[in-house]
Amino acid sequence: MEKQRKNSGKLKATVQEKYAQISEQSRENNAGSCCGCDPVDYSIFADDYSALPGHNPDADLGLGCGLPTEFAQINPGDTVVDLGAGAGNDCFVARELAGEDGRIIGLDMTKKMVQKAKENTSKIGFKNVEFILGDIENIPLPDNLADVVVSNCVLNLVPDKKKAFAETFRIIKTGGHFSISDVVTRGELPTVLQEDAEMYAGCVGGAIDMKEYLAIIKEAGFVNITLQKQKEIELPIEVLEKYMEQDKIADFRRSDRGIFSITVYGEKPGE
């Protein structure tokens, strides 16, 4: 247990360090990776936000692996919480949908990201969009707050996913729901990819098997769990060569194991 806590702390520190660096980079620099942490082209992870109402180029750092707000069924007046909000991209899209009567809260554990998101909000002049510093494993928000929770390529970075989804369940109102885009695997990745901290911060090493991921969501209490979108991701050869010999790469390519970007929906049961 003590070793697990130390590993968790190390991984979180790695993610915080990388995202502090990312917050100061342009979208063009970050677009090379789903989390902006690797110079190899990871654009296959990302989806294009530019056509969505509310999209703000200053807040779009090119870090996502889906478009959860597009599938989130946000209504005017909703309270929406974005877990791992970054510079505020999904929050501003959510604000367009929730309108002036809605409330949008972005949570991030990196101080520089929160600062950047607040600066972007100030430029736009929104009064009902706020950003707070916090950990998804211990969300500093009250029970039954959100009509909708969204998140984009962030839960895979959280070491304790059971706790993260339990916290997500706690803050959602009875009858509310979430739409989350994330990276998962089919079958186990090679150990060297799973355990490398840099790869973890790059969105892949922290990914778990899709069946396990969906089981954690169900265990947290969510119902009507639905895959809204999925696409297979093929790691570029340049990335694999950093971690494996050629024969191991060939074995991996031939196997039925794979990496997927998914957008998943779930509801908190009503009374």
SS3 state of residue 140: coil
What confidence tens digit (pLDDT) does each residue in 72-88 have? 999 999 999 999 998 89
Mean pLDDT of 199-210: 64
Supply the range of the domain harboring residue 127: 2-267
Give the pLDDT of residue 31.
47
Give the pLDDT of residue 13.
59
**Helices 89-98 and 111-124 sit at what angle, rounded to 10 degrees?**
40
Mean pLDDT of 178-184: 93
Higher pLDDT, 176 or 12: 176
Mean pLDDT of 18-26: 52
Is residue 205 pLDDT above 70, yes or no? no
Q: pTM, whole model, 2 decimals?
A: 0.80
Alpha helices (H) in 125-245, listed in sequence order: 161-171, 191-195, 197-201, 210-219, 237-240
CA distances from 111 to 48, 55, 152, 258 (A): 26, 22, 18, 34
Mean pLDDT of 168-191: 90
Give the pLDDT of residue 24.
53
CA distance linking residue 106 with residue 114, whole number of Å: 8
- Name the CA dihedral angle for 77, 79, 82, 86, rounded to a multiple of 10 degrees: 70
Beta-bridge partner residues of 87: none
CATH code assigned at 62: 3.40.50.150
Is residue 166 pLDDT above 90, yes or no? yes
Give the pLDDT of residue 1.
38
Give the pLDDT of residue 4.
39
Is residue 36 pLDDT above 50, yes or no? no
Give the pLDDT of residue 66.
82
Count of domains in the chain?
1
Is residue 6 pLDDT above 70, yes or no? no
Q: 244 pLDDT band (50/70/90 cuts)?
A: confident
